[in-house]
Amino acid sequence: MGIIIASCSDFLEENPQSYEDANGTLTSTKGFQAFLNGLHSYQRQEFQTWGASQVIVSQTATPYETLIGGTDIAAIASRDNTLPIFETYTFNASTGLISNRWRWAYGLIANANMMYDAAEKESVTWSNATDKDFFKANAAFFRAYAYRYLVYLYGDVPLILHIQEKYRTDFERTPKAEVITQMIEDLEFASKHLPEDPSKVKDGQLTKWAALHYLSEISILAGNYERAKTAAAEVVNSGYYKLMKERFGVSKDKTGDVFSDLFKDKNYNRGGDNLESIWVIQAEYQTNGGGNRYLDWTRRAFVPGYFNVNGFKISAEFGGRGLGQLIPTDWWLKLYEEDDIRNSENNIRRTWIYNNPDVPELFGKVYGQAGEKPTAEEMEKFLKSNRKAGNLFPSTTKFDFGIDTDPTYEGNDKDKYRIRLAETYLLLAEAYIHLGDKQRAAEAVNVVRERAKATPVSAGEMSMDYLLDERARELFGEEFRRFTLVRAGKLIERTKKYNPESAEHIKEHNILWPIPQNVIDSNTGNKWSNNPGYE
């Protein structure tokens, strides 16, 4: 692991940890590479859930749980009392999970700023003429990535572009539009100086195409739809990536389809013959720099706690040890055409077979079966009986992960997508919708639907709501749905329409989260008001 430096002010990091001074490291290409390795490690703390030796920012929940739950696509199980407040929208400025996301983001910004500033020093010994811009480009990317979190969640936030040498308590909130302008500048720079050929970088490293993907998204947020279009088009037309349309990887000869292949362990990276992945977080089991038992519990969010039901035991076949924190809404489950491969049993597990031989009267039967196979109505009734507890419900298989030799293993030591090409096509469609070109928007969406064997959408059917539906079909469990809905101006409308468990709770002010109270309290030299609705 490379060197990680904590934030320079209590305002940014309430409990800064002690790390080795970076000044002696950021003096040569070798030192910068070690620091960059650490920057990647810090970024992966985005998904950190619980305690472990590698913990930098303890967050106690995955971002999926707080950024998908309570939207149009997912409800939240009742078993963990820290999460239902994101379904009922009763979180406030003192909620720990609200402040933890702020702390992680500004920690990443502080590290990125340190590397960016150090690269400007004349005393650095570079091995190659391009090294300086390469490391600055990585720093700029991660800085923009962290501010992406902050503007979506909190709106106006302090824009900090350099290490703060002196302790400060007088930060100002920068208007969101100015922060977005800086993000675009950072991503433009990163796209010019990050590597172009993804086959020549290690798994998990950044390329110009990752920067252009986010440049497209943030340009939409800024209202610059022409730049959003050209940035996404550069990626899809680069020649380096393609949607996977034929079976591939470790399970290509087993039951499944090409969509399920995308989410099989060992299949995420180019080394696994996957030419669709643009940026993949590396978390592979028993791999140096990968995951561990407690670091990332993403699986607990999506895989049901089926083993709490009599007749079941923990099994890799059913996804391993999940807790079922996120429950798909009925609307999402009915969103697919019957023959859409994303709707197949390979990708949404709807049938549960009792698998515990110690309960012989149930073993081998369909869950809820009493003699004959139940009707669809009977099955729905049985499934709903355990749904809210998070025990049994139809679920995505994207996060299945199990270790046969250790079935109770808690970790989610499996790589995960941050960017794959299918989403870039959908960003391209989003840009075209804003530009009023529904024909080209439909063409971009249909590239994705063709792979799914779904009926093509016509230009006349194309709308922002249709696009959001398609993102839900393709990217469930991958996109942070709150971000997407906020960008589209649809968070309130679609949550009320499609999530009955949040419909009566969500209010207009919930488009933003509150500024953490500990941040407001510590910034004594410039007192802030909180976001409207959280005063």
Q: Give one DSSP letter per residue of 472-491, joined into a string.
A: HHHHTTTS-HHHHHHHHT-H
Q: Please, which contacts does 343-347 make with residues 24 or more away whose CB atoms are closer than 8 Å?
A: 344/257, 344/259, 344/260, 346/255, 346/256, 346/257, 346/259, 346/260, 346/397, 347/257, 347/259, 347/260, 347/396, 347/397, 347/398
Q: Are 441 and 433 in contact (CB under 8 A)?
A: yes
Q: Give one DSSP letter per residue of 87-156, joined into a string.
A: HHT---TT-HHHHHHHHHHHHHHHHHHHHHHHHT-TT-B-SSTTHHHHHHHHHHHHHHHHHHHHHHHHSS
Reported as a single tens digit per residue, the pLDDT across 459-509 is 999 999 999 999 999 999 999 999 999 999 999 999 999 999 999 999 999
Question: What pLDDT, on the 0 to 100 scale, is given for residue 59?
Answer: 67
Mean pLDDT for 214-218 is 98
Question: What pLDDT, on the 0 to 100 scale, is given for residue 382?
Answer: 60
Instruction: Please report, as a single letter, which amino acid is at residue 85.
Output: I
Residue bearing the bigger pLDDT, 413 or 318: 318
Lowest-confidence range among 21-25, 188-192, 352-356, 456-460? 21-25
Question: What pLDDT, on the 0 to 100 scale, is given for residue 296?
Answer: 79
Mean pLDDT for 202-229 is 97
**Could you tell me the pLDDT band of residue 84, with boundaries at 50, 70 and 90?**
very high
Reported as a single tens digit per residue, the pLDDT across 123-170 is 999 999 999 999 999 999 999 999 999 999 999 999 999 988 788 899
Q: Are 69 and 326 in contact (CB under 8 A)?
A: yes
Instruction: Please report, as a single letter, which amino acid is at residue 126.
Output: W
| Residue 324 confidence (pLDDT) above 90 | yes
**Could you tell me the pLDDT band of residue 448, with boundaries at 50, 70 and 90?**
very high
Instruction: Report the mean per-residue pLDDT for the chain.
Output: 90
| Residue 289 confidence (pLDDT) above 50 | yes
C-alpha distances in angstroms, 76 versus 80, 100, 323, 479, 484? 9, 19, 11, 17, 19
Lowest-confidence range among 20-34, 63-77, 168-182, 444-458? 20-34
Radius of gyration of the chain (CA): 23
Question: What pLDDT, on the 0 to 100 scale, is given for residue 373?
Answer: 58
Question: What pLDDT, on the 0 to 100 scale, is given for residue 14?
Answer: 32
Mean pLDDT for 294-303 is 84
207 vs 324: CA distance, rounded Å: 34
Task: Write out the two tokens for 42.
Answer: 């810090």
Mean pLDDT for 249-259 is 95
451 vs 136: CA distance, rounded Å: 37
152 vs 483: CA distance, rounded Å: 6
Domain boundaries, the chain: 298-396
**Could you tell me the pLDDT band of residue 283, with boundaries at 50, 70 and 90?**
confident
